[in-house]
Structure 1
Amino acid sequence: MSNQELYKHELPAGEHEYFEKCRRDLKWVAQLWLHFCSQNVGFDIKGYSRCDPQDVPSVRGCRVPQDVLYYLIHGNFEGSDEPDIDPRLDCREMSKSAITHLRCHAGCYAFYAVLPKILKHDDNFEKVEWELRDMRPRMVLLMVGEHYSPCTHEFLVIYTKLGSKIVLDISSWQFGFGDYIFTYEDYETRFVKTDTKHHYYAFSCQQAIEQNQHSHDQIIEQG
């Protein structure tokens, strides 16, 4: 069942209507971020393959989540050896996962300051928060030679005057979450390690722009 079908049955009518409005109004944000990431990968992606994380030298010995699908991203950084690519994995969803790999921080930087401006005329909008949480991924992407990063993740939370919260996670594909917008309760239940504390970034909108001005300008220019 898709998120749209799930929320239609689980949310009160007013909250569901507002959630769907946010989905429509913010779709371009996710599309723009995917476009920006696709243009700034930094290497040529050759393909993907399933892997055991303990077979990857940079991951071996690290504590990694269990019961998760692990994939290697193969690219021109691997040298002359031909990688063992699985052509069945060469699909649009895997491409989204690869280009958003380790991009959550940059995505929040880029849009934390923009979201309040997009939503300022919305009577139900209250504020935006920037959260850092430990995640329960469905999949993890790895690259040869890349230092393993624990599954912490950053995303934006829209607070509404209806009392509900909406997650905007434009890098969610890297963990196999398959969408860009979720209710906070659903997102936390399915994807967040609930025994971990909330961490909020205490940036003002202006600081977020100033500290990442170059990437912000690039994204807006490409949009």
Structure 2
Amino acid sequence: MYAKCGLLEEAFQVFKSLQEQDLQSWTIMIAGFVDHGQWEKAIDLFSQMEASGVRPDSTIFSVILCACSHLGMVDIGQTMFCRMVNEFHIKPTIEHYGCMVDLFGRAGLLETAYEFIKNMSIAPNNVILRSFLGACRKNGKSFDIGDDLLKLLLEEEPDLGSNYVIAANMSALSGKWNNVAELRSNISKKGLKKVPACSWVEGNAEVQEWELLETSG
């Protein structure tokens, strides 16, 4: 309760007073630090947890990978992910993959993020692809984004109109203007309303980003 309310010092005192600190109590305390931006403390507490002999699970790895992402700790994040898979035999979830894509994106490692997405054992969802697109836009980088990713995005949730907006933006970053035109046409055919959100210049072309407002019907 203290951790959720941001009373981390009080929460930590209660945590330390526990006769037995099990995985659940470690997870709550570490997640509390992460949720309130104290990522370094979360990393340190995770190390203490391992030293105490408590075995991490899938949930706490999601928490700690999030901390690594916010701290820009690429090497440690990659090590944690590899340990999770190879040492603890935990199958990565979409949350784990999302943390790694965010980690690479924040660090400006866009090629690494792209290759990571392509090699995921499960299909990336629109949250991961949106995160990747945002990183590309933030870093002002453009490179050839494979049509396979766009196809996955549209196949996963074909009735979600915002995915067409994401796909159009990703195609624009790749300079695939025919794809952009086709996707814009599909947006209109599906009765989606769009307004310009912002634009930026890529080479000699202006790339327009759209915000999805609503669908008709």
Could you say which TM-score interval applies, normalised by the shorter chain? under 0.3
Bigger Cα Rg: 2
**What's the TM-score, normalizing by structure 1?**
0.23
More helix by share: 2
Q: What TM-score, normalized to structure 2?
A: 0.23
